[in-house]
Structure 1
Amino acid sequence: MFTETQNSLLAIILLAYFLFLIVFAYLVNRRVKTYEDYSVAGRTVGTFPMTLTLVGTAIGGSILLGYMTNGYELGMGQIWLGLVAVVPSVIIVTVLATPIRRLGARYGMVTLGDFSALVYGKQARVPTAISMLFAYCAITGMQFVAIATVLTLTTGLDMTLGITLSWIMLTIKTVLGGLKSVVFQDALHGTIQTVGIFVLFVV
């Protein structure tokens, strides 16, 4: 797909971008003082970055690689699948985010298990944790495959090695910076992806 020179250039760009994310996560980590800072960004994330991080998360590998492929092969009816995610996201940001934040701050809650335990009792923690484990194994797995696909297409890297590198990269930047780092990185990614999609319509 690309020449050897182009592959080398793309590999350098991807490496530089990854290093930028690592440095950014490290700088954010230096400001983390408490567990609450690390796990829920100190409950200080505003509506705008929250919206962008939802966009950055929603417009990920499944959208750019999956839905677009299905749309090309099966038609524009695939857009309804995306709208299923858009409506709940809008409701979460505009209606539920503030009450959830206040409730979490009041009771010192940082996980969905905490919320489940508050409403249904401590016994609800285990099924909540299990359901989240299954859900995020699938979601995170899609991200690994998406990044590996990009690496394979741009640099010719083996898919299995690409998945392994994706796992290492995402783990390092997430563990190093905590939620605040993830939120603002997602906001950056969401902005780049959104602008890039509109640019593709032009070029």
Structure 2
Amino acid sequence: MNWGALLIVVVYLAITLFIPMYAGKKNTVTNDDYTVGGRKFGTLFLFFTLLSTVVGAASVVGYTGWYYVRGMSQLWFILGIALSYCIYIFYLAPRINDFGFKHGGETVGDWIAYRYGKASRILTSIIIMIGYLAITAFQYMAMATIFVKITGLSFTVSLIITAIIVILHTSYGGLWAVASNNVLQGSITLFGLLILATFLIMHAGGLGAVFASAPAEHFQAFGYFTPGAAISSTLVFLLGIISWPDMWQQCYAAKDQKTLKKSMVLFLVALILLCGVIMLVIGFTALSLYPNYETPESILPFMIMDQFNVVVGALFLSVLLAVILGGADTLLLVSSMILHKDLYNSVRPNASEQENLRASKLSALLCGVVVLVLAIIAPSMFDLWVMSADLMGATLAVPILLGFAWKRPSSVAGFASIIAGLLGWVLAYTGAVPGDGIVLGAGFSLVAYLIAAFVKPNTKELPDSNQESTKEAGAI
């Protein structure tokens, strides 16, 4: 165990976590404060909270390993992610924000219930809970990978330490604590990764040497994918992110639609720069420096500690830990919101403000423990992430995308679409029917939605989701 590195990490985490937890305690009075920040978030908080899920485990640990293995073929996933966020910017985000102000929306299930009824809400919440607990486990695994490198402890023990930190931080302060940590760590990480990439390239002999050492397949768009697999990879995140509850949470938390759009445009630019450029370079550099590394998903923390002295390496890993913590906090919070708002409140709709706040914190504790179990038994980080996005995109993308724009489909259409998408996804994943889960599931979902829309059209009045919200809130 490297005691010097461990001391640096412990001190850094203690200092940086105190500020967000203080902010959480100071600003969290009601359950609305805990879940959506009182709908007062300005551009800065929104940008870094959105960025936290990208600058977390997926980018700083995952993408390094994925570029190491697949090269530029990994950009098919980036394309799907970028396109999905474009849909948010120009279509979904203002409508979600408007619904939040008019109807008190806090979760995906709130809108599903309003548009398609209670049965669809419960089914949606169960699907998202399954998917998001798995995605949060991905964050746990990334943090534990760094702890293993610093402490020399076993992966399981490191996962338990990770779970304790994430659960306490999330349950204590809610979205204010999460967002405060994201602003602090996100800004440090963006500059830190630029510096890290520069120094690693120098250690590898320059950018020319880095790219020259990579195999030819790493520079081919279909080097490790067939065209069909590339399209499927793009669709996984193009459709999967449509129902991601942390994205909806940020849309609900924005003080107005102008602020929301500005922060999302900045976020999309940062996403392309970070995941499409910086992490690609770091991944190729890792391949150049360590061409036969056995576990690519853990190569980033290994490379940092191997290429730098103890103090510098520990500081880099401390920042990575803190920013991944921000992503884990965000994901755990939305999972607990679903358990509390969509399921608990279905049983206790008249719970008091204090009962709801207490239920939210207990939900975070319960979800955090479930995530720990998933992280222990999971086969790999990447498999968890893709499977979760695949499931949610196959079942929920169609009723969400069409439900905001088309008034004809009724609650029957929404429920039938989700069930059909789930059936198609299960058939593909079990191998009962040949094909990709996202393609088959989304195809089944669309067909069921269209048939039900014409067989059983909607007769109730729907919300005017296109109207600009006039509610004002304080800036941050």
In the alignment, which residue of structure 1 is the partner of 2:44? Answer: 48
In the alignment, which residue of structure 1 is the partner of 2:292? Answer: none
In the alignment, which residue of structure 1 is the partner of 2:7? Answer: 12
Distance 1:83 1:180, change over 3 A: farther
Q: Is the 8 A contact 1:52 1:190 kept in 2?
A: yes
Q: Is the 8 A contact 2:67 2:74 kept in 1?
A: yes
Higher Cα radius of gyration: 2
- Structure 1 unaligned segments of length 5 or more: list them: none
Root mean square deviation, CA, Å: 2.0
Distance 1:86 1:29, change over 3 A: farther
Which aligned pairs between 1:64-83 and structure 2 lie closer than 5 A?
64-83=60-79
Which aligned pairs between 1:1-203 and structure 2 lie closer than 5 A?
7-19=2-14, 20-93=16-89, 96-203=92-199
Q: Is the 8 A contact 2:20 2:178 kept in 1?
A: no
- CA distance in structure 2 between the partners assigned to 1:177 and 1:44 by the alignment: 16
Q: Is the 8 A contact 1:174 1:181 kept in 2?
A: yes
- CA distance in structure 1 between the partners assigned to 2:106 and 2:71 by the alignment: 41
- CA distance in structure 2 between the partners assigned to 1:187 and 1:84 by the alignment: 26
Amino acid paired to 2:101: A
The answer to which of 42-51 and 114-123 deviates more is: 42-51
- Deviations along 1:113-142, one digit per CA (max 9) or x if unpaired, are 111101111112211111111111111101
- CA distance in structure 2 between the partners assigned to 1:21 and 1:82 by the alignment: 31
Q: Per-residue deviation at 1:22? A: 4.2
- Deviations along 1:48-98, one digit per CA (max 9) or x if unpaired, are 322222222112212222221121222122123123223323543565434
Q: Per-residue deviation at 1:40? A: 0.5
TM-score with structure 1 length normalisation? 0.87
Q: Is the 8 A contact 1:43 1:101 kept in 2?
A: no
Bigger fraction of residues in helix:
1
- Structure 2 unaligned segments of length 5 or more: list them: 200-476
Q: Per-residue deviation at 1:161? A: 0.7
- CA distance in structure 2 between the partners assigned to 1:170 and 1:194 by the alignment: 22
Amino acid paired to 1:58: V
Identity of aligned residues (%): 32
- CA distance in structure 1 between the partners assigned to 2:82 and 2:12 by the alignment: 28
Q: Is the 8 A contact 1:47 1:93 kept in 2?
A: no
The answer to which of 64-73 and 118-127 deviates more is: 64-73
- CA distance in structure 1 between the partners assigned to 2:129 and 2:37 by the alignment: 22
Q: Is the 8 A contact 1:54 1:89 kept in 2?
A: no
Q: What is the DSSP-based 3-state SS (H/G/I as helix, E as strand, rest coil) of the residue aligned with 1:84?
A: helix
Q: Is the 8 A contact 2:45 2:183 kept in 1?
A: yes
Q: What is the DSSP-based 3-state SS (H/G/I as helix, E as strand, rest coil) of the residue aligned with 2:27?
A: coil
- Deviations along 1:139-163, one digit per CA (max 9) or x if unpaired, are 1101110000001112212210111
Distance 1:86 1:59, change over 3 A: farther
The answer to which of 55-64 and 165-174 deviates more is: 55-64
TM-score with structure 2 length normalisation? 0.39
